[in-house]
Amino acid sequence: MNRTNILITVPNLNLTSGVSAFWNALFTAFKSYQDIKFISLEIGGHGRNVFGAVGDQWRFKQSLNQEINLTLLNPSLFKRSFFRDGFFAKQLVKKNLPFIVFFHGWELDFEKEVEKKYINFFLNSFGQAETIFVLSQDFKMKIIEWGYLGKIIVETTNADVELVKDFSLEQRVSIWEKSETIKILSLARLIKEKGAFELVEAFDILQEKFDNIELIIAGDGEDFLELKRVTAGKKNITLTGDIRGEDKVALFNSSHIYALPSYYGEGLPTSVLEAMLFGLPVITSEVGGLKYFFEDEKMGYKVEPKNVSQLVDKLELLIENREKMSEISAYNMLYAKENVTNEVMAKRLHAELCHN
């Protein structure tokens, strides 16, 4: 049997979020495929250490000496990643080696910078890839506008099906029936652009009308202490800090609504897909990959970024209508299992990677 050996650049795989979580889940799903082997090269995480970045380029060059059939680069459209991975691509072009690119994060401000100064760099590096994966139709159209002529595939992130191995729609309904308090969950890196401060403001307004609601904000990040200060003394608001593993599963199990009113340069937030896998209605914004992925009123409700009034209205629609919550729950759980688990995505990627 012929086997495809794929060199793949990844961040530290011990991390539990972002690109690391994305590929850890896929590596697990790919274990059932005998005709493909991933050879991981961990890069990045050097901060301002210039020598670390130079070392990445050298280690990448050395990795190309192995029996590699294909290379898969995982950049984001952020300045540091764009140039680091762009120079990886230039090494591949120089050696005439085939590669594909999977763009994850996408910063709109840096997109404008690319348009002004770096389109030629893009075309001479990433633009030589056989296939480019992106997480939004908007990103696809932008890459076409920049002059890329190869194949572009709009993909999703993924949710690990193992999270719900012991969970069913019947259990979701049972948990909700036994609970008088409606729990609103938000789980993300705590930076202001993720919308946690607006969510707290909306929750304060909702508490004037409802006495049976609770807000749980999970995660850590640069704005955690500021959020802690803002929520100090407020009733029914819990900040958990960093949470993972069984604790994260328990939070999804016990919650009723998932809210991520982000205005960050998202690809497609994994936490939204995980919430859907657990049958939670979702309140979120049309940013990045969510713009075309998210089905308003079927998966939950969309709100405009930074619009607290809309956030209040949409949350209220769910809090007052458990029948609608149950309808959305059933839709989300089925949709997630059929379209965005790591196992389903591995099938799609396997076909593309082995075809290349």
CATH of the domain at 92: 3.40.50.11930
Whether residues 204 and 284 fall in one domain? yes
Q: Which of 21-35, 231-245, 254-268, 271-285 has the lowest mean pLDDT?
A: 254-268
Whether residues 97 and 204 fall in one domain? no
Whether residues 216 and 98 fall in one domain? no
Percent of the chain with pLDDT over 90: 73
pLDDT at site 248: 92
Residue 170 has pLDDT above 80, yes or no: yes
Q: What is the pLDDT of residues 73-98, one digit of tens each?
A: 999 999 999 999 999 999 999 999 99
- Distance in angstroms (rounded) separating the CA atoms of residues 279 and 33: 29
Mean pLDDT of the chain: 92
Whether residues 313 and 348 fall in one domain? no
Per the structure, the complete domain to which residue 154 belongs is given by 4-158+341-355
CB atoms within 10 A of CB 261: 27
Q: How many domains does the structure of the chain reveal?
A: 2
Is-contact 182 214, C-beta < 8 A? yes
Residue 44 has pLDDT above 90, yes or no: no
Whether residues 67 and 190 fall in one domain? no
Residue 266 has pLDDT above 70, yes or no: no
CA distances (Å), 271 to each of 188, 194, 218, 318, in order?
7, 12, 11, 19
pLDDT at site 121: 98
Whether residues 303 and 198 fall in one domain? yes
Whether residues 261 and 277 fall in one domain? yes
Q: What is the pLDDT of residues 305-344, one digit of tens each?
A: 899 999 999 999 999 998 999 999 999 999 999 999 999 9
Ranges assigned E (strand) in 178-249: 182-187, 213-218, 237-241
Whether residues 146 and 32 fall in one domain? yes
- The 282-285 sheet, strands edge to edge: 237-241, 213-218, 182-187, 257-260, 282-285, 300-303
Which CATH number do you get for residue 198? 3.40.50.2000
Residue 356 has pLDDT above 70, yes or no: no
Smallest Cα–Cα separation from 102: which of 173, 171, 158, 183? Answer: 158
Greatest Cα pair distance in the chain? 66
Residue 142 has pLDDT above 70, yes or no: yes
- Residues facing residue 213 across a β-bridge: 182
Whether residues 187 and 324 fall in one domain? yes
Smallest Cα–Cα separation from 72: which of 41, 108, 114? Answer: 41
pLDDT at site 228: 94
Whether residues 117 and 215 fall in one domain? no
pLDDT at site 69: 92
Whether residues 50 and 189 fall in one domain? no
- Distance in angstroms (rounded) separating the CA atoms of residues 10 and 134: 16
50 pLDDT band, cuts 50/70/90, is low
CA distances (Å), 146 to each of 79, 96, 119, 123, 253, in order?
17, 22, 6, 8, 44
Give the position of tokens 């919650």.
255
